[in-house]
């Protein structure tokens, strides 16, 4: 799958090498260097306390090395006043399927069946140096090809079951959030806080399954109910 530039993605362009952790980390840090002001992540049109939507996500409730790493970084960044993502909330979003109420249970069953038939192999992803986007502090992750393949597989399953993806695989920018920005503020403040943490060793995260979840917002946090956990090969 060839990744393409897109002004709505962050970074707008893909890294020069999607398999090399250093290339990915350096590319994303350079892109954040062009951000002048952070935005409030929660100022998102279309989301209300009653919004419910189906998503494909990677979740990490048992990835204890990642959880410990995230706690260490969040403690070091607490002075920023961001909304930390707790250990139950760590996730990598693979794509929105659609709003609850617009999708029937039969469609979800067909989606799961199609995804199960074509599911790729399990893999290990590495969370590498911290960076940030316009609205969050996050980990870069590497390598991208297994995540891209998984996204493309789920997208194809969606097309087969009549639930095409909302965003194409070509503009995917895999990342793992750590803390959400909750107000406008100068990005330089965030860069100064994150920079010392970029020297920390990365942490490996086994990816053995992908979850179909019903997502909601509770205050300034995301919560979800797992509809189906799809084991990879």
C-alpha torsion sign, points 206, 115, 9, 180: negative
Q: What is the DSSP string of 183-208?
A: S-EEHHHHHHHHGGGGGS--EEEEE-
- Whether 221 has a pLDDT exceeding 90, the answer reads yes
Q: What is the pLDDT of residues 172-182, one digit of tens each?
A: 999 999 999 99
C-alpha torsion sign, points 67, 77, 220, 43: negative
Q: What is the pLDDT of residues 171-212, one digit of tens each?
A: 999 999 999 999 999 999 999 999 999 999 999 999 999 999
DSSP state of 162: T
Containing 74, the helix (H) or strand (E) segment is helix 64-76
Domain boundaries defined on the chain: 21-41+50-231
Q: What is the pLDDT of residues 19-74, one digit of tens each?
A: 999 999 999 999 999 999 999 999 988 888 899 999 999 999 999 999 999 999 99
- Please, what CATH class does the domain formed by 21-41+50-231 belong to? alpha beta
């Amino acid at each position: 799958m060839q990744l393409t530039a897109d002004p709505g993605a962050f970074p707008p362009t893909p890294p020069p090498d999607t398999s090399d952790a250093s290339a990915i980390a350096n590319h994303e840090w350079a892109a954040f260097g062009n951000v002048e002001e952070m935005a409030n992540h929660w100022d998102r049109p279309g989301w209300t306390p009653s919004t419910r939507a189906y998503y494909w996500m990677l979740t990490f409730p048992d990835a204890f090395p990642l959880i410990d790493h995230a706690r260490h970084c969040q403690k070091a960044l607490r002075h920023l006043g961001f909304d930390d993502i707790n250990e139950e909330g760590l996730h990598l979003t693979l794509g929105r399927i659609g709003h609850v109420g617009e999708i029937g249970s039969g469609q979800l069953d067909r989606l799961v069946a199609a995804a199960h038939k074509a599911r790729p192999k399990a893999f290990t992803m590495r969370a590498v140096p911290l960076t940030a986007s316009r609205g969050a502090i996050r980990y870069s992750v590497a390598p991208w090809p297994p995540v891209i393949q998984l996204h493309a597989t789920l997208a194809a399953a969606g097309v087969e079951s009549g639930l095409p993806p909302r965003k194409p695989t070509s503009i995917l920018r895999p990342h793992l959030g750590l803390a959400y920005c909750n107000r406008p503020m100068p990005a330089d403040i965030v860069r100064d806080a994150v920079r010392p943490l970029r020297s920390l060793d990365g942490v490996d995260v086994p990816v053995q399954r992908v979850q179909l979840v019903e997502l909601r917002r509770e205050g300034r946090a995301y919560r979800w109910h797992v509809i189906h956990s799809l084991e990879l090969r």
